[in-house]
Amino acid sequence: MPLTHTRDLFAKALKGKYALDAFNVNNMELLQAIVEACEEEKAPVMLQISRGARQYANPVYLKKLIEAAISLSNIPIAVHLDHGDTFQLCKECIDEGFTSVMIDASHLPFEKNAELCAQVVEYAHKHNCVVEGELGHLVGAQFDEGEEGGAYSAEGHYTHPEQAVDFVKKSGVDSLAVAIGNSHGAYKFKGEQHLDLDRLKAIKAALLEAGLGDYPLVLHGASSVPADLVKEINQFGGGMGTDTAGVPESDIEVARRVGCTKVNVDTDLRLAMTAAIRKVFAENPKEFDPRKYLGPARARVKELVRHKVRDVLHCAGHAFD
């Protein structure tokens, strides 16, 4: 099957009320694990490439690897630039045939962020590509306490519902990444914390009320940082802090139902890969054949992806809707 357009994946996900699984790809084993799991679960998938992934693996290698995955599978696959930070990088990816790009200018003031997004949107839309923007700061749940319950501060780190409407209208972005207590990496929260799901509902409602329809929202930093993986990493010689914690799967489930149409996961794949590799080395220190540790790592990532698409995002079974 050829590359499927992000636009089509979003339209189907919105209709089917499931969340699209957006997984980061950095090498062949990760790609194989993701695509094989999604193929077996009949899930559509978004493969995301970050600037760091392009620097690590080389854009041409990544492009060819993805072409191979597409030619060997039947599920719909879209290719997305994750956290593009400049117009130039977005343009390169659009020119290379990515079906969507993210321009992350969320560190800039509102107007500058909207302006840069609008510039990318103008180029992208002329070249059959769609754009994700981001409003708010992914600082985690320990910030913006006291903003819960509807008293949203326009100056806070989290996404403000009315500003989200204004931002989408000004920038023309096709989807919006929100800040609701989410953050990247393995150390999201101190202890168990939850996303500000009421705020997510308010953002979705504000967009609907403003005439923007069932507007697709994106959840970054959606890894759950499973305690058993962290434990396994540490058991086999790792030194991850004990304060690792991620987004509870039950929160992702609610976010999906409220209207997060794309859910980004990278850290959990890294943890699964690391746990499996550490286990091989700890149990067999003489091992030096990369296939003997990258193989189990790939299998562990595949198992995790299957769980995500089937039990958390509910995109399994929707590949051929």
Which residues make up the interface to Zn ion (CB under 5 A)? 220, 264
Tokens of 187: 């150390």
31 binds, among ligand 13P, ligand G3H, Zn ion, none (CB under 5 to 8 A by kind): none
Do 240 and 203 touch, CB atoms closer than 8 A? no
> Could you say whether residue 290 binds ligand G3H (CB under 6 A)?
no
User: Within 13 A of 138's CA, how many CA atoms are on the CB side?
Assistant: 20
Q: Count of residues binding ligand G3H (CB under 6 A)? A: 8
Strands 217-219 and 130-135: unpaired
Q: Give the residue, chosen from 84, 136, 221, 259, that forms a contact with ligand 13P under the rule CB under 6 A.
A: 221
Q: Measured from the CB of residue 263, what is the shortest distance to ligand 13P in angstroms?
A: 9
- What Å distances lie between residue 97 and 59, 80, 81, 84, 91, CA to CA? 12, 10, 11, 15, 10
Do 50 and 291 touch, CB atoms closer than 8 A? no
**How far apart, in whole angstroms, are the C-alpha atoms of residue 142 and residue 251?**
16
Q: Site map for ligand G3H, 166-195, x if CB under 6 A?
A: ------------------x-----------
Tokens of 17: 């009320």
Residue 20 has φ and ψ, to the nearest 5°, of: -75, 140
Q: Measured from the CB of residue 292, what is the shortest distance to ligand G3H in angstroms?
A: 26
Q: Return the residues of window 139-198 that contact ligand 13P according to CB under 6 A.
A: 184-185
Q: Is 82 a catalytic site residue?
A: yes
Q: Give the residue, chosen from 41, 82, 132, 144, that forms a contact with ligand 13P under the rule CB under 6 A.
A: 82
Closest CA to 13 of 307, 254, 313, 249: 313
- What Å distances lie between residue 98 and 5, 48, 62, 72, 256, CA to CA? 9, 10, 12, 19, 25
**How far apart, in whole angstroms, are the C-alpha atoms of residue 81 and residue 78?**
10
**How far apart, in whole angstroms, are the C-alpha atoms of residue 263 and residue 218?**
6
Residue showing the smallest CB distance to Zn ion in the complex: 220
Interacting span for ligand 13P (CB under 6 A) from 72-80, 140-148, 266-274, 281-289: 266-274
Closest CA to 137 of 168, 177, 98, 166: 177
Q: Return the residues of window 24-63 that contact ligand 13P according to CB under 6 A.
A: 24
> Could you say whether residue 80 binds ligand 13P (CB under 6 A)?
no
Grouping H, G, I as helix, E, B as strand and the rest as coil, residue 198 is: helix
Q: Return the residues of window 130-149 that contact ligand G3H according to CB under 6 A.
A: none
Q: Tell me how far the alpha carbon of residue 118 is from its chain's centroid.
A: 22
53 binds, among Zn ion, ligand G3H, ligand 13P, none (CB under 5 to 8 A by kind): ligand G3H
> Could you say whether residue 53 binds ligand G3H (CB under 6 A)?
yes
Nearer Cβ to ligand G3H (121/219): 219
Q: Tell me how far the alpha carbon of residue 285 is from its chain's centroid.
A: 35
> Could you say whether residue 296 binds ligand 13P (CB under 6 A)?
no
Q: Give the residue, chosen from 106, 244, 267, 274, that forms a contact with ligand 13P under the rule CB under 6 A.
A: 267
Q: Measured from the CB of residue 266, what is the shortest distance to ligand G3H in angstroms?
A: 3
> Could you say whether residue 261 binds ligand 13P (CB under 6 A)?
no
Nearer Cβ to ligand 13P (54/220): 220
Do 247 and 263 touch, CB atoms closer than 8 A? no
**Residue of 21, 82, 144, 174 with catalytic role:** 82
Closest CA to 36 of 305, 238, 311, 272: 305
Nearer Cβ to ligand G3H (82/144): 82
Interface residues with ligand G3H (CB under 6 A) are 24, 50, 52-53, 82-83, 184, 266
Residues noted as catalytic: 82
Interface residues with ligand 13P (CB under 6 A) are 24, 82-83, 184-185, 220-223, 264-268
